[in-house]
Amino acid sequence: MKHLIAPSLLSADFMNLRQEVEMINHSEADWLHLDIMDGVFVPNISFGFPVLEGLKSICKKPMDVHLMIVEPGKFVHEVAETGAYMMNVHYEACTHLHRTIAAIKEAGMKAGVTLNPHTPVSLLEDIIQDVDMVLLMSVNPGYGGQKFIEHSVEKTRCLREMITRKGLNTLIEIDGGVNLETGKRLLEAGADILVAGSFVFKAPNPIKVIHDLKAL
Ligand code: DX5
Ligand code: ZN
């Protein structure tokens, strides 16, 4: 499968969100990645459901929602109401991950499980068959514009090996510090989807950057 690009709105100009989303609509981006933070699971607060609700009517790309919050299982209904395509919950935030994944699918969304940089891929052995996507964090979640953690390439390779070994078609998405150089290596290691925040939105020509990422 040709890889997908999911720009992260976290680095957009929040005073001009409509124009930023329209730019994404006109670009080669495949999904729009949306980072929800609660100031508890991560040391930052971003935006919440009212913003997602507003995006629902103007965003033409599937919404890939990344919840960096404690107890994300409590909000499955709210996320589904925003029309989200994919709901990603952190492995580290879910005591009953299997139950939460089942609820996400029951609500009509694709289910993604996210791993912090320190969480080993091997912990997915007994849940990977139930998820549509694994989102590997290649920075510590909470902020855009951080330095890429090198070990993420090896981790991507390890996850690809697990998916192949089990004969699954689970997608692999990578989030944090993605640019043309890290992106190329992640794709070679087996990534399917690249999230890019600051590399896209802080660029003079975001449409071209999305094109270049898509052309990798
Ligand atoms: C970080 C978020 C990312 C963030 C990535 O916690 O999950 O989606 O927007 O930003 P960059 O691409 O700038 O590292
Ligand atoms: Zn994210």
User: What pLDDT is attached to residue 28?
Assistant: 98
Spatial strand order in the sheet of 4-7:
4-7, 193-196, 171-175, 133-137, 110-115, 86-90, 63-68, 32-37
Q: Report the atom number in ligand 1 closest to the C-alpha of 178.
A: 12
And the tokens for 79?
């996320």
Q: What is the mean pLDDT of residues 6-16?
A: 98
And the tokens for 13?
């100009």
CATH number, domain of 19, equals 3.20.20.70
pLDDT in tens, 104-124: 999 999 999 999 999 999 999
CA distances from 59 to 48, 109, 153, 197 (A): 16, 17, 31, 17
Q: Provide the whole-model pTM.
A: 0.98
Query: How many folded domains does the chain comprise?
Result: 1
User: What pLDDT is attached to residue 1?
Assistant: 87
pLDDT in tens, 165-205: 999 999 999 999 999 999 999 999 999 999 999 999 999 99
Q: Report the atom number in ligand 1 closest to the C-alpha of 9.
A: 9
Q: Where are the beta strands (DSSP E) in 77-215?
A: 86-90, 110-115, 133-137, 171-175, 193-196
Give the CB-side neighbour count of residue 88, counting CA atoms within 13 A: 28
For residue 35, give the 3-state DSSP assignment. strand
pLDDT in tens, 39-73: 999 999 999 999 999 999 999 999 999 999 999 99
And the tokens for 138?
């290649």
Residues with CB under 6 A from ligand 1: 8, 10-11, 33, 35, 66, 139, 141-146, 175-178, 195-199
In terms of residue numbers, what domain contains 104?
4-214
- Note whether 64 and 24 are within 8 A (CB): no
